[in-house]
Structure 1
């Protein structure tokens, strides 16, 4: 991915500030089970974090640097996140709507969020309460070395997926689905969560199409890297690795095949109208 030179909107950099505790663990199974808390198995961060005490959060926000990070890893996140927001600004404007860009926070181990205390073991996540995407960059090693999703475009897919959740929040989809989930059975609520997550995958594909049309930054193998990431984080793949069996009724993000399918759907034309996973 030829991302260098792309527009950068800045990040909120809390790295090195410390934070409210952290979750430990070791081995691939422990990593998968820890990550299952939010990113892979779709638990709302407001639910995950509601019981955790937010310590030092106000100090972190006051001390965090806001701007363009100088390290390559930070610059990459900044560039991709900015590109994703730029794509959605244009798409909303084309529909006569206003889009408020998300913000991205880089942190280490743990940090305060509008949804409670964020932990690195949760993987990247979006908090709808403060419109921020939170990323501990150690997740890239987990994605690459332990989940087998290698390459910079696999990481770009993750970022674009989280911005996709911000788009859903802007459109009121997130609130509507959460309301519906409270009125149905657990199995039905899981099915709604799957549709929400697959739509975010499709929105990531929309970004991939539109950003490349604008920047021409795709290189050979990039889309395959994104597809590899989508496959690696399918519920069936993760459940088989962590517990040795697959339980479809407990899916909250969708199978590997479905995640790949919907990313490809968004990428095929770059049209958000193709991403109606609820109708499908």
Structure 2
């Protein structure tokens, strides 16, 4: 079972947010999308196809179906919050270059300037197509797109340059933890349709045991935020920006 830590989102513009990041982001997100807490989670049916080992075409179909599922989920959440929504472009490739430039690492990355999610099909995916691990490429990167739409990425980009290296690392962790939490919110409604081939408890345990990433932070915290989003079922549970340092490092 492979559970890499998505060190592949390094091309996301990451930097420093102020002590109250939500206030620097679009204020509508604070009162709308990020202000929503709790409530009953309504399951969303998505038709996610099987993956055939060794088949690039099969993996492309899987990613496209995941993208359609994420698009419908987040469009509905934004509409409920009274916020405008637009989907990202999705590029699926077997190469090492994209509209973002050279693809760093493996898996997927989000390019804010192009509002594009780039998914790279790796040889390891073809050999060992573990559904939940592959599905997470879409879910996590869509979390970054949500951050773009509510103003978080623009807010951090404006304050990134003057930040110290230590501050950049900490706020990068906060950014990635929030994207993990948003992925968990998405799974709260769609996990059954994804048919992950692993229980939620097993998945979170596997994430917790993954290798640590300098960009993303400690696996135990990534697992904790993803689980928080899943169990809360709402973006209001995902304010990583005011969390204690030990919750996000």
Q: Does TM, normalized by the shorter one, top 0.5?
A: yes
Instruction: Quote how far apart the aligned CAs of 1:125 are.
Output: 0.5
Determine which of 105, 108, 112 is the counterpart of 1:128. Answer: 112
Determine which of 2, 11, 22 is the counterpart of 1:44. Answer: 11
Is 2:243 the counterpart of 1:265?
no
Instruction: Quote how far apart the aligned CAs of 1:208 are.
Output: 0.3
Q: 1:98 matched to which residue of 2?
A: 84
Ranked by relative contact order (alpha carbons within 8 Å, sequence separation 6 or more), the top structure is: 2
Q: 2:59 matched to which residue of 1?
A: 73
Runs of 4+ in 1 over 6 A off after TM superposition: none
Separation of aligned partners in 1, 2:223 and 2:115: 26
Instruction: Quote how far apart the aligned CAs of 1:124 are.
Output: 1.1
Corresponding residue pairs, total? 200
Paired residue secondary structure (1:124) = strand
Instruction: Quote how far apart the aligned CAs of 1:111 are.
Output: 2.8
For residues 168 and 231 of structure 1, do their structure 2 counterparts lie closer, same or farther at Cα, with a shift above 3 Å needed? Answer: farther
Is 2:176 the counterpart of 1:197?
yes
Q: 2:237 matched to which residue of 1?
A: 274
Q: 2:74 matched to which residue of 1?
A: 88
Q: Which runs of 5+ in 1 are unaligned?
A: 1-34, 48-68, 236-250
Instruction: Quote how far apart the aligned CAs of 1:269 are.
Output: 2.2
Residues 127-180 of structure 1: CA deviation (Å, up to 9, x unaligned): 1111111111116539x87xxxx7201211221001100110111101111222
133-142 or 193-202, which moves further after superposition?
133-142
Bigger Rg, structure 1 or 2: 1
Is 2:167 the counterpart of 1:177?
no
Separation of aligned partners in 2, 1:140 and 1:159: 17
Separation of aligned partners in 2, 1:274 and 1:174: 19
Instruction: Quote how far apart the aligned CAs of 1:72 are.
Output: 1.7
- With normalisation by structure 1, the TM-score equals 0.63
Residues 119-268 of structure 1 mapped to structure 2, 5 A cutoff? 119=103, 121-138=105-122, 140-141=124-125, 151-212=130-191, 216-218=193-195, 221-223=198-200, 224-225=202-203, 228-229=206-207, 231-232=209-210, 234-235=212-213, 251-268=214-231
Residues 207-258 of structure 1: CA deviation (Å, up to 9, x unaligned): 100224xx655466242336524642532xxxxxxxxxxxxxxx32110100
Q: Which runs of 5+ in 2 are unaligned?
A: 15-54, 244-249
For residues 133 and 231 of structure 1, do their structure 2 counterparts lie closer, same or farther at Cα, with a shift above 3 Å needed? Answer: farther
Q: Answer whether contact 2:13 2:157 (CA < 8 A) is retained.
A: no
